[in-house]
């Protein structure tokens, strides 16, 4: 075995292809269309271990500006944590993490990641502690309004959406700023069919419906209206927020107990989740 750590393999066609192959094999993720679409802005930084040209392990650093209570902090979210099966147990993840800490020490306010129940015993060994997120739900009254689906394969619709994105999510109390690249990873992939424009409320919305429930994943524009008013246009009677609402009045707020999406916060930084009832934006997971 001939291990080599490459920091940010995205700029080279061969190393990027190897990274994509590992991500596809592990999570079914595809980064190439996103990269070729021009959305790679340097905020997504894979730390990838190669063995003779083959990507075998990775942790990606995702740089984020997060605003809470009028203050913007530097967050690092670790994601696409993966190791090929035959390379597990060789300490590669710890080696990558140590290199990340060396490179970013003193350069972040909070470092965190999401993990599933199969690895919850590993991250405390790296200095992470489990944190609790909260769900926000409430009943709403359906209203009549035209909801137009945007086609995220069309340049003009992407540009139209971006103009609203730049207005910010004024309904969020815990917002990722300057995250258009990450937003488009979702909207060009798993949520490509979930982007809408509601002229009545002058807003674009990322949402999904399930029976009589609508989940609001992101919302831009719509100033002068409430999130409940806007989301009522989907004709549902139950609203689930995919982020922490700025105004949580009337919401049923409950701790989330999802063993497949466990939040871990690095003890070497701030932990705003320790004493606040928050939900990290679902569409900003990496």
Q: What is the pLDDT of residues 53-94, one digit of tens each?
A: 999 999 999 999 999 999 999 999 999 999 999 999 999 999
Query: What percentage of the chain has pLDDT greater than the value 70?
Result: 100
When pLDDT is averaged across residues 193-201 and rounded to a whole number, the result is 97
pLDDT at 159: 97
Give one word for 104, left, alpha or beta, with left for phi > 0 and alpha for psi -120 to 50: alpha
* DSSP code, position 67: E
* CATH number of the domain located at residue range(s) 136-253 in this protein: 3.40.630
Of the candidates 180, 49, 64, 177, which has an alpha carbon nearest to the alpha carbon of residue 111?
Answer: 64
Q: CA dist 193 to 143, 148, 169, Å?
A: 22, 11, 20
Identical fold, 3-133+256-275 and 136-253: yes
Q: Does residue 152 have a pLDDT over 90?
A: yes
Mean pLDDT of the chain: 95
Tokens of 151: 């086609």
- Confidence check: pLDDT of 210 > 80: yes
**Half-sphere exposure of 209 toward its Cβ, with a 13 Å CA cutoff?**
14
**Residue 262: beta bridge partners?**
115
Instruction: Match 């066609």 to its residue by tokens.
Output: 13
- Considering the segment(s) 3-133+256-275 as one domain, its CATH architecture is 3-Layer(aba) Sandwich (3.40)
Residue 106's pLDDT band (boundaries 50, 70, 90)? Answer: very high
The DSSP secondary structure of 171-216, one letter per residue, reads TBSEEEES-HHHHHHHHTTTTTT-EEEEGGGTEEEEEEEETTEEEE
- Residue 108 main-chain phi, psi, to 5 deg: -145, 155
pLDDT confidence bin for 208, thresholds 50/70/90: very high
Rg for the chain (alpha carbons), in Å? Answer: 20
Confidence of residue 117 (pLDDT cuts 50, 70, 90): confident
Give the whole-angstrom CA distance, residue 23 versus residue 6.
15
As a whole number, mean pLDDT of residues 129-141 equals 97
| Percent of the chain's residues with pLDDT above 90 | 94
Bridging pattern class, strands 128-131 and 71-83: unpaired
What confidence category does residue 185 fall into, taking pLDDT thresholds of 50, 70 and 90? very high
Per-residue pLDDT reduced to its tens digit, 213-250: 999 999 999 999 999 999 999 999 999 999 999 999 99
Domain borders along the chain are: 3-133+256-275, 136-253
Distance separating alpha carbons of residues 2 and 22, to the nearest angstrom: 17
Report whether 262 contacts 115 (CB < 8 A).
Answer: yes
What pLDDT is recorded for position 121?
85
Checking phi first, is residue 109 left (phi over 0); if not, alpha (psi -120 to 50) or beta?
Answer: alpha
> Half-sphere exposure of 100 toward its Cβ, with a 13 Å CA cutoff?
29
Confidence of residue 285 (pLDDT cuts 50, 70, 90): very high
How far apart, in Å, are the Cα atoms of 32 and each of 13, 185, 218, 223? 10, 10, 24, 35
Environment class of residue 38 by beta-carbon count within 10 Å: exposed (0-12), middle (13-18) or buried (19+)?
exposed
């Amino acid at each position: 075995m001939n291990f080599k750590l490459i920091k940010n393999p995205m700029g080279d066609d061969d190393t990027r292809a190897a990274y994509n192959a590992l991500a596809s094999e592990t999570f079914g993720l595809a980064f190439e269309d996103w990269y070729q679409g021009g959305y790679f802005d340097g905020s997504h930084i894979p730390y990838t271990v190669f063995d003779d040209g083959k990507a075998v392990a990775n942790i990606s650093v995702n740089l984020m500006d997060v605003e809470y209570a009028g203050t913007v902090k530097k967050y690092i979210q670790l994601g696409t944590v993966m190791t090929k099966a035959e390379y597990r147990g060789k300490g590669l993840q710890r080696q990558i993490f140590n290199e990340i800490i060396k490179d970013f020490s003193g350069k972040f306010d909070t470092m965190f990641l999401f993990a599933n129940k199969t690895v919850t015993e590993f991250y405390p060994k790296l200095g992470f502690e489990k944190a609790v997120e909260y769900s926000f739900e409430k009943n709403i009254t359906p209203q009549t309004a035209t909801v137009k689906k945007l086609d995220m394969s069309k340049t003009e619709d992407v540009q139209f959406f971006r103009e609203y994105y730049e207005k910010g999510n004024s309904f969020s109390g815990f917002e990722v700023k300057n995250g258009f690249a990450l937003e488009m990873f979702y909207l060009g992939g798993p949520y490509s069919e979930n982007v809408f424009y509601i002229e009545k409320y002058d807003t674009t919305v990322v949402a999904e419906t399930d029976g009589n429930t609508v989940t609001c994943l992101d919302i831009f524009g719509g100033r002068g209206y409430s999130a409940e008013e806007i989301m009522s246009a989907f004709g549902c009677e139950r609203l689930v927020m995919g982020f922490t609402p700025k105004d949580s009045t009337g919401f049923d707020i409950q701790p989330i107990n999802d063993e497949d999406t466990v939040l871990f916060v690095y003890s070497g930084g701030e932990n705003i989740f320790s004493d606040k009832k928050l939900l990290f934006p679902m569409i900003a997971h990496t």
